[in-house]
């Protein structure tokens, strides 16, 4: 069994919260972590602690994010690692400026529609050598460290190297993911050797060691990003590509560079919400919020988990995702209608397509005039600098290919390309595919929140639900992460998945409108898991939250 996800995300932020004197009656299970010092929220306690240790040793939020991400690649190798891509939003508190980083890799120059057609391939491969694009994560680390970091890359990677060498006990969620990937890993000899000791997946609590990954991280610690793209790691990757008959060449790695980009944003009620621009799906979250804003969510008969609110959000999702699929691709290669899709006027037109009484099963994109596997983390330091970071292999263990001696799986992000030449997301050499993984950021007054929720095509719709929980339903960041969610991974039809905490009466009323509900568990992985940090700049207090749908936690720096 393979599980689809969209990325891993790292987040650092802070947000204001008004306490509830009747705390014993609250709906949330966990409390927020509250501190005047730094907080790291991640999918693994070991990863969060690695980031916090860097903060305690004088590093800033970016240093801590790199350390946390590196550790996540060790302890959750099926979801993320140096064989995948990375995106980040960095808030510089002193400058009061938000920066975006796109560290997603391009397709090899020789990987084209014509190349695949010559091999008799008519649909984009979802695994194997022809799904591999250049991994961008390591170059992303270097760009972040060079521009913002205080620590050397070697210091930030030290805990991950040590853990890869000495091993770690496998946690619950990861053991389940691992067990479902055994047959897939056996399709590649190096993958099986790396991840299936004793020819099976490690069980909960068993210690797993990865000395090959420790070697790769040591190379990066010593020689920086060039170790991966030009040095000994690159040599091993290219040897593996040749062995599997893939088109990747030395220049594809050596000439790659990630880039800083300007975040895109919209307003929702009294919040401003930021995402990264295409090639990622974040624009769909902003368009969805714009459509939702035309309805009275949070008011009478439109409360949290009400029939009216859920119906509106599900229908807004369908419209925004239809636009995403039609119009979004690599913005470096073509002019995309981003400004139009982000406008309130466009949202007003699209909102008119929503029938308040009936679900729409054939939502189509509007007409513009010419002109899943992931890790997320967030960090906030004592000065208020924040990082929202997501990083991913795409699907569990990516392409299923491990270059012998490297200890990490190469991602299959190329599987998201289209083979339709007319699509803005059409496969081409040196082009980046449409990406599912997205970090996010929001602000209101003196509050800043860094957040992300993983899970492939779940992410934009989950971001919109999280913001509605804050803005319309007045939740704190922990309650907003825990709140029951819906998710629709498909683009057509009236199917929608919901957690069973949404009331039966509401589900019945939604079904009467035509929604075809697939009921999931209390805290289901299909609706994604997230992390969040918040800072209230008026008090200098930080807040952290961690989703119970993952193994992780939010950890505060010791004063």
Provide the annotated active-site residues. Answer: 374
**76 touches 376 (CB < 8 A):** no
Helix (H, G, I), strand (E, B) or coil at 473: coil
Rounded Cα gap, residues 276 and 260, in angstroms: 10
Q: For 77, phi and psi rounded to 5 degrees? A: -70, -20
Q: How far apart are CA 472 and CA 44, in angstroms?
A: 30
Alpha carbons 453 and 434: distance in angstroms, whole number: 18
Q: Treating both helix axes as pointing N-terminal to C-terminal, what angle do 153-166 and 211-223 enclose, rounded to 10 degrees?
A: 170
Return the ∠ at Cα 237 (arms to 232 and 241), rounded to 5°.
Answer: 145
CA trace torsion 279, 487, 289, 62 (10° rounding): -50
Burial profile 252-290: b = 16 or more Cβ within 10 angstroms, e = fewer: bbeebebeebebbbbebbebebbbbbbbbbbbbbbbbbb
DSSP 26: -
In the 8-state DSSP scheme, what is residue 32?
Answer: P
Token reading at 165 = 């060498």
Do 467 and 15 touch, CB atoms closer than 8 A? no
Place of tokens 């619950």: 172
Dihedral angle computed from the Cα positions of residues 452, 456, 461 and 464, in that order, rounded to the nearest 10 degrees: 10
Strand, helix or coil at 251? helix
Strands (E) across 77-131 are located at 85-92, 97-103
Q: What is the helix (H) or strand (E) element at residue 309, kind and residue range?
A: helix 307-327
Q: How many CA atoms lie within 13 A of 532 on its CB side?
A: 34
- How far, in Å, CA of 489 to CA of 55, rounded? 37
The full DSSP string for 168-182 is: EE--HHHHHHHHTTH
Nearest to 434 by CA among 221, 111, 133: 133
CA distance 212 to 548: 31
Q: For every residue of 146-209, which 3-state class applies, written as one string? A: HHHCCCCHHHHHHHHHHHHHHCEECCHHHHHHHHCCHHHHCCCHHHHHHHCHHHCCCCCCCEEC
Whole-number Å distance between alpha carbons of 395 and 535: 33
Give Cα separations from 193 to 190, 214, 312, 450, 462 (angstroms).
5, 15, 49, 38, 36
């Amino acid at each position: 069994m393979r599980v689809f996800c969209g990325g891993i995300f790292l987040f650092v932020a802070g947000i204001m919260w008004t306490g509830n004197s009747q705390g014993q009656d609250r709906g949330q299970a966990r409390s927020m972590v509250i501190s005047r010092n730094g907080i790291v929220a991640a999918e693994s306690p070991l990863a969060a602690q690695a980031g916090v240790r860097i903060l305690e040793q004088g590093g800033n939020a970016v240093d801590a994010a790199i350390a946390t991400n590196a550790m996540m690649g060790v302890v959750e190798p099926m979801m993320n690692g140096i064989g995948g891509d990375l995106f980040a939003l960095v808030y510089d508190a002193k400058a009061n400026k938000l920066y975006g980083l796109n560290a997603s890799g391009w397709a090899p120059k020789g990987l084209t529609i014509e190349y695949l057609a010559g091999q008799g391939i008519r649909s984009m491969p979802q695994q194997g050598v022809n799904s591999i694009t250049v991994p961008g994560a390591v170059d992303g680390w270097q760009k972040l460290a060079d521009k913002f970091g205080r620590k050397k890359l070697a210091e930030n990677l030290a805990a991950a190297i040590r853990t890869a060498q000495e091993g770690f006990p496998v946690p619950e969620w990861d053991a389940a993911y691992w067990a479902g990937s055994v047959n897939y890993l056996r399709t590649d000899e190096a993958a099986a050797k790396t991840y299936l000791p004793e020819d099976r997946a490690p069980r909960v609590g068993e210690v797993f060691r990865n000395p090959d990954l420790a070697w790769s991280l040591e190379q990066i610690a010593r020689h920086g990003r060039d170790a991966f793209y030009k040095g000994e790691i690159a040599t091993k990757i290219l040897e593996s590509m040749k062995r599997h008959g893939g088109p990747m060449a030395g220049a594809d790695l050596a000439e790659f560079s990630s880039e800083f980009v300007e975040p895109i944003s919209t307003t929702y009620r009294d919040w401003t919400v930021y995402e990264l621009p295409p090639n990622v799906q974040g624009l769909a979250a902003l368009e969805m919020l714009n459509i939702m804003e035309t309805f009275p969510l949070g008011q009478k008969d439109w409360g949290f988990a009400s029939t009216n609110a859920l119906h509106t959000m599900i229908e807004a999702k369908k419209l925004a995702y239809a636009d995403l699929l039609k119009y979004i691709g690599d913005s470096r290669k073509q002019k995309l209608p981003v400004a139009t899709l982000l406008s309130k006027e466009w949202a007003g037109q699209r909102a008119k397509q929503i029938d308040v009484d009936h679900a729409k099963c054939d939502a189509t994109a509007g007409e513009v005039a010419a002109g899943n596997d992931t890790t997320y983390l967030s960090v906030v330091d004592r000065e208020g600098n924040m990082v929202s970071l997501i990083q991913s292999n795409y699907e569990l263990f990516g392409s299923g290919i491990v270059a012998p001696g490297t200890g990490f799986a190469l991602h299959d992000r190329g599987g998201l390309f289209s083979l339709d030449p007319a699509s803005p997301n059409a496969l081409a050499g040196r082009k980046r595919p449409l990406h599912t993984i997205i970090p996010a950021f929001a602000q209101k007054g003196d509050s800043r929140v860094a957040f992300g929720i993983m899970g492939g095509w779940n992410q934009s719709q989950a971001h919109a639900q999280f913001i509605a929980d804050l803005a319309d339903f007045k939740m704190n960041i922990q309650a907003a992460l825990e709140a029951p969610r819906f998710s629709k991974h498909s683009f057509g039809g009236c199917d929608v998945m919901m957690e069973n905490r949404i009331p039966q009466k509401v589900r019945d009323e939604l079904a009467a409108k035509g929604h075809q509900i697939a009921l999931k568990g209390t805290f289901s992985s299909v609706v994604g898991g997230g992390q969040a940090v918040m800072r209230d700049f008026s008090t200098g207090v930080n807040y952290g939250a961690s989703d119970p749908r993952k193994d992780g936690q939010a950890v505060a720096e010791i004063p």
